[in-house]
Structure 1
């Protein structure tokens, strides 16, 4: 008879990731609790999201609009609604999806062109607070990746800062995969420098959304304030 692998619950995994983030804060002399964990729930069902919520997760990241809307609706209607969950859109944005994103999400991390920012601003319902926005930067200039070149981020940030229904919060990036810690740090450094410079001009900028399961130690070393982790919490994607 084959032995079953030990099974770690979503709650255990969530607490482990959180403990690891806290230990890296300490290692790199960052203030305690200064790095937030964004639980990436894309492709995972509402039941798994609820398990993470019970474990303490409050911020959830989604890539696909329709899948996210289905989950948000299901979790709002359930016997114990997730009233204080915050939903973050972190995927590429199509123009025909901006109305749903503007209406249902509190954060968008992946704004990379003026047209999309303008649509989100125009479609944000008046009864909701301004939509929190991060500008996505393409650090490695990969054609397959979304994001503005680093030298174009300043102009897009200035335009967003002037929009009344958007709140400019920071920068987001997904660098090219790399296994070596020092190389990972090197990739994040120009973004961190740009972020600090932009903060001088835009005081609402407080979020550097970098770091995922494989590189979050390097991201914390380079100033990340929000780590996006899915697989290490939920297991392999469905």
Structure 2
């Protein structure tokens, strides 16, 4: 068994245990393997372990991997910040976008989604910690944004995404993730997705309702960002 295979098995076990501890069916929580900065070979190795959903932050890197891995039935998720000039290839080459934080981006994704593809699954990114350095709309902006995005023709609004500030304070993390869940519930739009939780805070996110956990380091090891400078 390879290291990646071992890691995937370990993370899936963590997901099962965290879900069960929270009284949730484990199948309610899906693993999104975050493969940014990792080679296509690592994605192929994870795919061999029945992992099908992969998240990428950097558009060109993701597009290159999609070409190299075109023989695999991968569901690709874009999870990074989105610039207006990058919306067309995102609309054309991804099944999910977790990081929409303004209406202009959503409108462009809808307009540029190819007609032969199903609606693009969308999560709205919320800046739940209020950090100036973080992407995401504010809680106050969310209701109007969600209503507008839910009306766009080629998108399917699925839920919210959040990246709280890193913390060793479990009570604070519970508070942040619970706030995201409560914001989603308050929208009354029948949304079914909470994209929250990463390698270091997976159990807390699951306890507070996460349906996608975005895991990279725990699957593929530490990342090398030197080529992204």
**In which range does the TM-score fall when normalised by the shorter chain?**
over 0.9
For structure 2, list consecutive stretches of 5 or more residues without a partner in the other structure.
Answer: 225-229
Matched, 1:31 2:20: no
Matched, 1:215 2:201: yes
Matched, 1:185 2:167: no
In structure 1, the residue matched to 2:59 is 65
Secondary structure of residue in 2 paired with 1:150: coil
Secondary structure of residue in 2 paired with 1:122: helix
Q: Distance in 1 between matches of 2:42 and 2:169?
A: 32
In structure 2, the residue matched to 1:232 is 218
Secondary structure of residue in 1 paired with 2:140: helix
Contact 1:136–1:146 under 8 Å retained in 2: yes
Q: Distance in 2 between matches of 1:61 and 1:116?
A: 19
Tell me how far 1:154 sits from its aligned partner. Answer: 1.2
Contact 1:231–1:237 under 8 Å retained in 2: yes
Matched, 1:144 2:133: yes
For structure 1, list consecutive stretches of 5 or more residues without a partner in the other structure.
Answer: 1-6
Q: Distance in 1 between matches of 2:66 and 2:51?
A: 15
In structure 1, the residue matched to 2:121 is 132
Instruction: Show structure 1 runs of 4+ deviating over 4 A.
Output: none
Among 38, 41, 64, the alignment partner of 1:47 is 41
Contact 2:15–2:26 under 8 Å retained in 1: no
Matched, 1:117 2:106: yes
Q: Distance in 2 between matches of 1:34 and 1:92?
A: 26
Q: Distance in 2 between matches of 1:187 and 1:207?
A: 16
Secondary structure of residue in 2 paired with 1:151: coil
Q: Distance in 1 between matches of 2:140 and 2:17?
A: 33
Among 13, 16, 34, the alignment partner of 2:7 is 13
Q: Distance in 2 between matches of 1:236 and 1:8?
A: 16
Q: Distance in 2 between matches of 1:31 and 1:110?
A: 26
Name the Cα RMSD after superposition. Answer: 1.1
Aligned residues: 224
TM-score normalised to the size of structure 2?
A: 0.95
Q: Which has the larger radius of gyration?
A: 1
Q: Distance in 2 between matches of 1:151 and 1:38?
A: 28
Alignment of 1:164-183 (within 5 A): 164-183=153-172
Matched, 1:159 2:148: yes
Deviates more, 1:168-177 or 1:189-198: 189-198
Contact 1:182–1:218 under 8 Å retained in 2: no
Q: Distance in 1 between matches of 2:26 and 2:52?
A: 18
Q: Distance in 2 between matches of 1:192 and 1:55?
A: 31
